[in-house]
Amino acid sequence: MRTKRIYGLFILVCTLFGSTFLAISLGLKAGASPLFYAALRFTTAGGLLLIVLLLSKKASLATIRPLTGRGILFSFFMTVGSFGCMFIAQTRVDSGFMARFDATGPLVTALFAVLFLGKKLSLAHFAAFFLGTAGSFLIASPAAEAEPAYLIATAGTVLFYAAGNVLYPILFSADENPVLISAIQAFAGGIILMGIALGTETVRFPFAALWPFLYLVIGGSILGHTAALVLVRDAGPVFASSWLYVSPVIATILGAGILNESITAAGIWGTVLAFSGVFLLNRIE
């Protein structure tokens, strides 16, 4: 039975994550180098969150130590793999396309849950996934023209994220602090990305990229990913990943208002289908 708290978390995650696609594109269009931009986002967010937890005595070195190894492993999926691929992909594909492709995440998560968590799926589950994914494909902008390598990076975003969702309950118990886990994996993943960026990119961070960067750190990383981990812990990985059905709606609205992207009849119908998929998933989970 879903509670008001679960639905509140779900709405928060949808709003924050739906708007981060635009923020990433704005920063990259301003000229920031992708992996360095991603690395700086996660080291800053994870580091700030760890400091707050330590100063507020909600974490200590004694509580951080046993989570560190698992947090680093988790970061390879949720930060290095997923967001490394996303930031690279969005140098060539638009935010709407990225949001649309991300909407396949719940289906991939469900398939991984079947393989690794013993999750049983009904026909109603697959109907929900079909509605949500079909709706998201209608909502987003026309298919991006990009080199195959960037489309592979787009797919990698979904695969790493879905694997991370399923890996979470394997690595961590329900009584371990998801906020602390989020901080550790973000900081560790950011450090790893920083090493990759410094070895492979010409580092660029123009002033115009600062404002979307601050939004990504505070809204997307500190608030968004912490809320998402709590949602995974309390509602399960399949339901938690269904924010990906709603994020293309938010991305489309923001794209129309800020980037002058058009909203078509297909987009309106896609919105209806996407929310139908989320509603059905809520009813059967």
User: For the whole model, what pTM was predicted?
Assistant: 0.82
Per-residue pLDDT reduced to its tens digit, 77-109: 999 999 999 999 998 888 877 887 777 777 677
Closest CA to 46 of 184, 179, 211: 184
Report the pLDDT value the prediction gives residue 179, as an integer from 0 to 100.
Answer: 86
Q: Calculate the average pLDDT of the chain.
A: 85
Residue 17: half-sphere exposure toward Cβ, Cα within 13 Å: 28
State the 10-residue block means of pLDDT for the chain, 285 residues long.
Answer: 80 90 93 96 93 93 95 96 94 81 75 76 80 75 66 89 89 90 94 96 94 92 82 79 78 80 74 78 66
Where on the phi/psi map is residue 202: left (φ > 0), alpha (ψ -120 to 50), or beta?
A: beta
DSSP 140: S
Report the pLDDT value the prediction gives residue 71, as an integer from 0 to 100.
Answer: 96
